[in-house]
Amino acid sequence: MVVHDTDPDPRAGPPAGGELARQRALRDEIARLRALLREARQASPAETPPPARTRPDWEVRLATAEELNARLQASEAFTARLLAASRDAIQVLTLDGTVQWRCEDGRATTADQSGTGTPWATSWATSWPDPTDRVAADLALAAARAGRTGRFRAASGPAEAPRWWDVVVSAIQGADGTPERLLAVSRDVTEAYRAEEQQALLMQEMAHRVKNTLALVQAVAAQTLRSATSLEAATEAFNGRLMALADAHDVLIRGAWAEADLAAVVAGAMAPHLDGVPDRCTATGPAVALGPRAVLTLSLMVHELATNAAKYGALSSPAGRVAIAWEVVGGPRAVLHLRWRESGGPLVAPPARGGFGSRLIERSLVHSFGGRVALLFPPEGAVMELEAPLAALQDGTA
């Protein structure tokens, strides 16, 4: 994270510069000991060997130093492999928050002693682009200096594609147990952040849809009560409409609430009215994808037509049939033509006044989709013909 400049020394790999210095010091010490040993041998001729206890002492000290060097090298090689295996960005800071050492993508680099040759060896907190994050970084530094763990989440990188980091800052204690330097470990949590963002968006979207659905149910309930002759009739009509909306939701959910095929909408709305006799209704037409609003409206419309047919029309007698057919006419400004035609039922007389069903059909379609609708009652069976611009029916919002 954090550092947006280029790496000053791309070849600098593990072990870190500080460790290299220590190795060099050890090598120097071994060389010095060897030189001392050589001098001692030259100073003491063969006939006068050094005192018996002196020689083994030099040998022991040399052996110990060489073993220590070997152990240190093994330990440093392990540390380098450990850092190379880490997927985190690790930084060591001075107590005032200046970057001293860092390890990113498994490569460790130490800041130039003077600081001038290492562009990233600056204030760690101010390297965060967002001012709020800088405050959080300062607070985390303060917590670490006090011996606690500082933790925050922040973004870095280009504004159009930021990376998100979960940052933990803690103290590196010196030999006396007090904070000597600070350790900042940043883990890339961009994917988790995106998932959370997506989830929050979905929750918001769902809340919006639920409110819209409740408003729709409220309107259906109020309209049902307005036109009902009795409480029983209202209850029955309302339950039927609620079930029709529930079926329409099932159809919509199958299409991820984005679209549903007209045939599925018609089949879903007709199913409860056919008493399991499939040939009472035929539905023919090409595949037409409908948006959520059109699905809900058309489902309610078909439900109203079918309810009426079951009470007074073709679906009230065993011989009655309903034919639903549709086609799409025209190119870029295509229009859906849909016809509902009943036959084989009792002779039809036009209803005295339009109730909820006819008002819904006439107003919803005309108003919501800019379409046209004709509801006719010839003696042989009710007919509804509608046409509506396909673009309006396919709009994605609910």
The residues binding another protein (CB under 8 A) are 204, 207-212, 214-216, 218-220, 222-223, 226-229, 233, 237, 293, 297, 300, 304-305, 307-308, 311-312, 351-361, 363-370, 375, 392, 395-397
**Torsion over CA: 136, 140, 142, 143 (sign):** positive
Nearest distance, CB of residue 83 and another protein, angstroms: 46
Nearest distance, CB of residue 157 and another protein, angstroms: 27
Nearer Cβ to another protein (278/396): 396
Nearer Cβ to another protein (47/232): 232
Nearest distance, CB of residue 301 and another protein, angstroms: 10
Nearer Cβ to another protein (71/367): 367
Nearer Cβ to another protein (159/352): 352
Nearer Cβ to another protein (51/379): 379
Nearest distance, CB of residue 207 and another protein, angstroms: 6
Nearest distance, CB of residue 174 and another protein, angstroms: 50
Label the pairing between strands 372-376 and 321-329.
unpaired
Nearer Cβ to another protein (62/216): 216
Nearest distance, CB of residue 99 and another protein, angstroms: 38
Nearest distance, CB of residue 134 and another protein, angstroms: 25
Nearer Cβ to another protein (133/304): 304
